[in-house]
Amino acid sequence: MQAGITLAALGVVFGDIGTSPLYGLQTVFSIDNHAVRPTPDDVFGVISMVFWSVTLIVSIKYVMIVMRADNDGEGGVMALAALARRAFGIDSKRTVKVLLLAVIGASLFYGDSVITPAISVLSAVEGVTVVQPSLHDWVLPIAITILTVLFAVQRFGTHKVGALFGPVMLVWFTCLALSGLRGVAHEPSVIRGISPTYAFAFITSHPKTTFIAMGAIVLCITGAEALYADMGHFGRPPIRRAWFFIVFPALTLQYLGQGGLILHDPSAVSNPFFLLLPGWARLPMVILATGATVIASQAVISGAFSVSRQASQLGLLPPLTVRQTSDASAGQVYLPVVNAVLFVGVLVLMLLFRSSARLATAYGVSVTGALLIDTVLLLYVARGRWHWATWKLVLMAVVFGGTEFTFFAANLTKIGHGGWLPLLIAALVFTVMTTWRRGRDIVTDNRISSEGPLLSFIDEMKEQKVLRIPGTAVFPHPSKETTPLALRANVTHNGVLHKTVIIFSAEPRNVPHIDPTDQVTIDHLGSPTDGIVHVTMRYGFFDEPNIPEVLGRYGTPGDPEFELDPERTSYFVSRASLSVTRAPGMMRWRKKLFITLARNAANPVGFFDLPEDQTVIMGSQVEV
């Protein structure tokens, strides 16, 4: 059982970092007109920096420390932010800072989600040019076709092909280790590169070149955050076992092997990964590498779906259409809008840059920025939740934060050569998230003033002796403090009130799941015989806010206190018609952006899984 889970984790979690050898060292030796040369000193220095970067950031920071910070078993920047917020309780200033960091981290993740599929698949397909140089013009069309098919099959879910991921990646890492051993056999002295002394020697003798090289060495740790983000799917032990017993040794041997090949044949810097293989194995390796990069791309795309759903449930994005693609795993979801946006972004990127070497100049900024944000949030958790001593916090900030800041600063030099792209993507996502959150707050305030107090409205209904008709009316509404506009409109225009009125509030929480026993709270508004109740449903960012399903667990036909007959239940949804005004609170262009987002938001009927033939949508005018 444990071996099976470890194999599954191998297939899903390590695709991104496992395909880094395709382009990592090749990029290091090609940057800045070959500033890093294929000489023994430079090769030993680069291998040492790669090994210790992977050791410090992946093995120690993420696998040994960050993965301890699980939010009910789940990981990722949103989960880490939730732990940090809870660690400081009601400290609003720190809460705002943590939320801001989470938004920035999620924004940078989207930049990574667009670049990773493009550079991974391109680098794999480019291997055919090593086998047959005349196929160079076919690389881009083949890569575009592969990614088009990949995005097209997202609607069917990953569970149908997930069983293949583990075995494919096991074969992949086995091949990495074996080909790496072949390179080490060419030049056994390369093993000395594991010593940190060569990294220090390279840094002190070539400080400027080192800084530039750091911008490419970071490619060897891309995907490190996936170890933490995917923890909820498999748990901490399987990921740790897969990393220390399979992935880390295979990557170490592969980088050592590429270094040994470069020492043996300096011209191999043109493509050390494929040149490390014997001629007969190169074409099969191109096919295997393409499969591995598709898996790596799938992991990033699935991660974008999960982050988007979390952000939507936390109020950072509009309600999104979410389709569950697996009954066994809550994390396997498909978001059509996110899938379409990612596909267009990846397609534009590939047509714009046209090669993995050019894409590598754009890669790294979003990755290193996300690593830095995880470190800052981890410091918050270590201080407020784990109560670490000050010296431990300082040590972690210096070692991890200092290394990652150097990576980040080195990648900032790429801004003029393509590094602007992930920052632009992150800036756009950040603008969308902050605009939606601010606009939602403004609309909520304006709606509250129009809705009026709910208890006063109920008292008025009693005094007016409004006609009660058979059946149940459910009104989705943010709280029990104000009157749903649809309820007020129904009484005003139709002059009736259903026998049972349920005002239903769905509250997202900063946790992955809510225990069913703590999920629902029922409050009778007035006396039980009045038939007006308020239901609060709390749900985590991996739960489905299904109103009929939740009510079905508590309502009983004929119950005088809470009657719910599914066949005689109607759902009334308030739909606000938004209009831009000159009122302060947000710039005019952001108000227009907010209205555009609201108009394209998921229909609440689908979001709450309401039956369409029993749902009535009633509109009202709300100013922004």
CA distance 107 to 277: 38
Helix, strand, or coil here: 477? coil
Amino acid 1: pLDDT: 58
pLDDT in tens, 567-576: 778 888 877 7
Nearest to 413 by CA among 130, 212, 150: 212
Nearest to 258 by CA among 203, 194, 176: 176
Neighbour tally for 580: CB within 10 Å:
14
pLDDT on residue 63: 92
Tell me what pLDDT residue 324 has: 63
Which pair of structure tokens corresponds to residue 323?
A: 């389709």
588 has pLDDT over 70: yes
Query: Is pLDDT at 117 greater than 60 in this prediction?
Result: yes
Name residues whose C-beta falls within 8 Å of residue 387's C-beta, 6 or more positions apart in sequence. Answer: none
Given a cut of 70, whether residue 619 has pLDDT beyond it is no
Which tokens sit at 591?
Answer: 């108000």
CATH architecture of the domain with residue range 2-418 = Up-down Bundle (1.20)
The domain ranges of the chain are 2-418, 450-623
pLDDT tens digits, one per residue of 225-267 = 777 877 766 778 888 999 999 999 999 999 999 999 999 999 8
Return the amino acid letter for 510: N
Q: Are strands 333-334 and 323-324 parallel, antiparallel or unpaired?
A: antiparallel
- What is the pLDDT confidence band of residue 612, given thresholds at 50, 70 and 90? confident
* DSSP secondary structure code for residue 59 in this structure: I
Q: What percent of the chain has pLDDT over 90?
A: 19
Q: By mean pLDDT, which of 176-180, 183-187, 209-213 is the weakest?
A: 209-213
Among 319, 298, 309, which Cα is nearest to 223's?
298
pLDDT at 91 over 90: no
Q: Considering only residues 175 and 534, tell me which one the structure prediction assigns the higher pLDDT.
A: 175
CA torsion 62→68→74→76, rounded to 10°? Answer: -30
Which pLDDT tens digit goes with each residue over 25-49? 988 888 777 778 889 999 999 999 9
Dihedral of alpha carbons 192, 193, 199, 203, sign: positive
pLDDT above 60 for 194: yes
Calpha distance 583→502 (Å, rounded):
34
Does 328 score more than 70 pLDDT? no
* Beta-carbon count within 10 A of 59 CB: 18
Predicted pLDDT of residue 61: 95
The burial class, CB within 10 Å (0-12 / 13-18 / 19+), for 265 is middle
Question: What confidence tens digit (pLDDT) does each residue in 481-495 have?
Answer: 888 888 888 888 888
Closest alpha carbon to 572 in 499, 488, 454: 488
- Residue 613, classified by CB atoms within 10 Å of its CB into exposed (0-12), middle (13-18) or buried (19+), is exposed
Side-chain half-sphere exposure of 501, counting CA atoms within 13 A? 26
Q: What is the pLDDT of residue 330?
A: 52
Residue showing tokens 């799941």: 513
Q: Give yes or no for residue 11 having a pLDDT over 80.
A: no
CA distance 199 to 181: 22
**71: which DSSP letter?**
B
Share of the chain above pLDDT 70, in %: 90
Half-sphere exposure of 434 (CA within 13 A, CB side): 18
Instruction: State in Å, rounded, how far the first CA of the chain is from the last one.
Output: 55
What's the CA gap between 565 and 471, in Å, rounded? Answer: 7
Question: For the whole model, what pTM was predicted?
Answer: 0.79
The pLDDT confidence band at residue 89, using thresholds 50, 70 and 90, is low
Cα–Cα distance, 420 to 434 (Å, whole number):
21
- pLDDT range class, residue 292, cuts 50, 70, 90: confident
Rounded to an integer, what distance in angstroms lies between the CA atom of residue 554 and that of residue 532?
A: 15
Quick check: 161 pLDDT over 70?
no
- CB contact set of 604 (below 8 Å; sequence gap of 6+): 319, 476, 573, 575, 610
